[in-house]
């Protein structure tokens, strides 16, 4: 029972509309988990329940084996919400000092500056005059202010340019290496793949897959063997193998789809059909993910 | 404790940096005070008494304004901009947060009272006994409570624009109907009757009585307490309804 986060049969509905549907998962210390899914999959609602900002309709959320709103939990978590939160009328440095004062063992202001890339200019600027990118940096610093054990980010890179995005993930990896537990939500497969050790794939309020990025990718992307062949050669022999899911011709090439591409190569050589330029490919992940997203929309 | 001090400090810094506050709560009342005691001839029989009376009106007007507008609009801003949500996941307890807001607000009121009193003494040489200065200041500080409650009520509104609009109108109506701009005695009879039931009149009247050498009436105190209770109950009821969703 050393779970950092534990959700048991958590359900949330707003006005009879089911947004999160019977979600259960737990997180061990030091794990970096991505909650991945299209818009409307229930990611933000799930995160809000983990943070104790909204109550589940049914089920239980525990952080460090306690209720999310308890002070002992608050001391150990840090967060960056999707909606960039700033307090007008204060300069960045004043806000940092203020939030640090809430925690028993905060990180020093210098450490926060180093981690998040806030500049001297940023520190002197009033919150309401910050640009989108500066606000994100400030939010990131505020998330880390209390030196949290568990860090929760809701769509952290929305509105960041490439440089800040790279810097952000670099810092996240460093925090993970220090043994922090991290949960973040995203609708970019690439981000989940790069930064997380485990992906919870959400769709329609449910967890549809839970595994390492490799496992998830294998599930949602199709593998193909493609080759060139004389147009008059019959492919009938290949159809006899039930490992093959689909065969089609495109741009003078034959594409064979299967979960076991090694076996397909064997068949091709066994049947001596004269295949040339053989390529083994994994379908574009983003395409597959997009497909999953759009089919979900149709279902609704 | 450190969090409480830091929070108070932050609230005070924020208010003093707020241009609307400086304009509406400090410059406007002082300007009005100057105009209605020096430029416009009000034909008051006792000039000194009028100058003291109107100083109290303007101070009460200022403090009432920052209670309703500054506090109310700020609360809406904090909620719509996600700051309240962020504070809720930090270890800062709701009680300390609320207490710090009230303490910060009271400090600001004290500052406004001091500045406007000094302005009155400088502009017209208003001279009261030390006890009268102290009591009238204290009355305005403590008597602002129902307006702080009204501010938190406005703070429950969904949009900053609505909150700003509504609080502006309320502020002006309360000020005029309560006899803060011109004494109730010069208004029509019906206005006088209505005015006597306004929280603003009862708030102002306590201070007017003090500078006249008297003490606030019991019904002033009772009416202000009743309004506080009403506003607090209302905001509790609305908050519960909002949370039920």
- Residue A235 binned pLDDT confidence (cut-offs 50, 70, 90): confident
Taking an 8 Å cut-off on Cβ atoms, the answer to whether B14 and A79 are in contact is no
Q: What percent of chain A has pLDDT over 90?
A: 45
The mean pLDDT of A41-55, rounded to a whole number, is 92
pLDDT in tens, A3-15: 899 999 999 998 8
Distances (CA, A) of B57 to A174, B117, B206: 61, 11, 10
Q: What percent of chain A has pLDDT over 70?
A: 93
Residue in chain B lying closest to A144 (CA): B90
The mean pLDDT of A201-221, rounded to a whole number, is 84
d(CA A105, CA A76): 10
The mean pLDDT of A234-255, rounded to a whole number, is 80
Per mean pLDDT, which range of A68-82, A162-176, A223-237, B87-101 is the poorest? A223-237
Asked if B85 reaches chain A (Cβ–Cβ under 8 Å), the answer is yes
- Residue A98 binned pLDDT confidence (cut-offs 50, 70, 90): very high
DSSP class of A9? E
Instruction: Indicate the length of chain A as a whole number.
Output: 300
Taking the complete model, does pTM exceed 0.95, yes or no?
no
How many CA atoms within 13 Å lie on the side-chain side of A35?
A: 32
Q: What is the pLDDT of residue A299?
A: 40
Closest CB to A71: pick one of B13, B18, B91.
B91
Q: Which residues of chain B are within 8 Å of residue A85 when distances are taken between CB atoms?
A: 81-83, 85-86
Q: Which residues of chain B are within 8 Å of residue A83 when distances are taken between CB atoms?
A: 81-82, 85
Mean pLDDT of chain B: 91
Q: Which residues of chain B have pLDDT under 50?
A: none
Best CA proximity match to A127, nearest among A115, A116, A119, A139 = A139
Q: What is the pLDDT of residue B207?
A: 95
Taking an 8 Å cut-off on Cβ atoms, the answer to whether A52 and B89 are in contact is yes
Assigned token pair, B8: 């108070």
Q: What is the pLDDT of residue A58?
A: 92
Asked if B91 reaches chain A (Cβ–Cβ under 8 Å), the answer is yes
pLDDT in tens, B150-205: 999 999 998 989 999 999 999 999 999 999 988 888 889 999 999 999 999 999 99
Contacts of A289 (CB under 8 A, 6+ apart): A189, A220
In this prediction the ipTM stands at: 0.82
Q: Which residues of chain B are within 8 Å of residue A90 when distances are taken between CB atoms?
A: 10, 13-14
For the cut 90, the answer to whether the pLDDT of residue A241 exceeds it is no
Q: What is the pLDDT of residue B102?
A: 87
Q: What is the CA radius of gyration of chain B?
A: 18
Q: Give me the DSSP letters along A43-97.
A: HHHHHHHHTTSS--SEEEEEETTB-TTSHHHHTTEEEE-SSPP--TTSBHHHHHH
Q: Give me the DSSP letters along A18-33.
A: EEEEEEEEEE-TT-EE
């Amino acid at each position: 029972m050393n779970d950092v986060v534990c959700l048991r049969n958590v359900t949330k509905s707003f006005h009879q509309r089911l947004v999160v549907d019977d979600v259960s998962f737990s997180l061990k210390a030091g794990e970096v988990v991505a909650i991945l899914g299209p818009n409307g999959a229930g990611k933000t609602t799930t995160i809000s329940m983990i943070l104790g900002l909204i109550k589940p309709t049914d089920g239980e959320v525990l952080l460090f084996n306690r209720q999310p709103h308890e002070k002992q939990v608050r001391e150990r978590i840090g967060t960056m919400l999707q909606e960039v939160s700033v307090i007008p009328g204060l300069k960045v440095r004043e806000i940092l000092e203020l939030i640090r004062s809430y925690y028993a063992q905060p990180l020093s202001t210098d450490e926060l500056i180093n981690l998040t890339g806030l500049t001297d200019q940023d520190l002197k600027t009033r919150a309401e005059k910050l640009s989108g990118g500066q606000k994100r940096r400030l939010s990131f610093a505020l998330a880390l202010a209390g030196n949290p054990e568990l860090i929760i980010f809701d769509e952290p890179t929305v509105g960041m340019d490439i440089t800040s995005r790279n810097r952000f993930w670099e810092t996240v990896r460093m925090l993970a290496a220090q043994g922090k537990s991290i949960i973040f939500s995203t609708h970019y497969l690439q981000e989940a793949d790069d930064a997380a050790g485990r992906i919870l794939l959400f769709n329609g309020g449910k967890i549809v897959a839970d595994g390492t990025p490799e496992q998830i990718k294998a599930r949602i992307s199709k593998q193909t063997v493609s080759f060139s062949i004389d147009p008059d050669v019959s492919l009938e022999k290949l159809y006899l193998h039930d490992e093959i899911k689909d065969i089609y011709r495109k741009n003078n090439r034959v594409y064979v789809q299967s979960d076991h591409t090694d076996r397909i190569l064997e068949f091709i050589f066994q049947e001596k059909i004269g295949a040339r330029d053989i390529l083994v490919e994994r379908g574009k992940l983003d395409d597959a993910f997009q497909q999953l997203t759009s089919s979900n929309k149709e279902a609704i | 404790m450190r969090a409480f001090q830091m929070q108070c400090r932050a609230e005070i810094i924020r208010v003093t940096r707020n241009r609307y506050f400086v304009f509406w709560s400090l410059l406007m009342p002082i300007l009005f005070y100057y105009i209605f005691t020096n430029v416009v001839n009000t034909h008051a029989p006792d000039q000194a008494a009028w100058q003291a009376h109107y100083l109290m009106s303007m101070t009460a007007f200022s403090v009432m304004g920052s209670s309703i507008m500054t506090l109310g609009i700020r609360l809406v801003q904090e909620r719509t901009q996600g700051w309240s949500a962020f504070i809720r996941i930090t270890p800062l307890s709701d009680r300390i947060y609320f207490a710090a807001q009230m303490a910060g607000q009271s400090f600001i009121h004290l500052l406004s009272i001091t500045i406007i009193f000094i302005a009155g003494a400088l502009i017209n040489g208003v001279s009261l006994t030390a006890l009268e200065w102290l009591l009238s200041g204290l009355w305005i500080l403590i008597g602002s409570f129902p307006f702080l409650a009204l501010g938190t009520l406005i703070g429950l509104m969904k949009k900053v624009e609505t909150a700003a609009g509504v609080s502006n109108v309320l502020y002006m109506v309360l000020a005029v109907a309560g006899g803060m701009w011109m004494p109730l005695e010069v208004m029509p009879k019906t206005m006088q009757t209505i005015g006597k039931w306004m929280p603003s009149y009862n708030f102002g009247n306590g201070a007017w009585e003090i500078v006249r050498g008297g003490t606030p009436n019991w019904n002033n105190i009772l009416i202000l307490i009743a309004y506080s209770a009403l506003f607090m109950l209302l905001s509790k009821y609305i908050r519960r309804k909002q949370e039920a969703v």
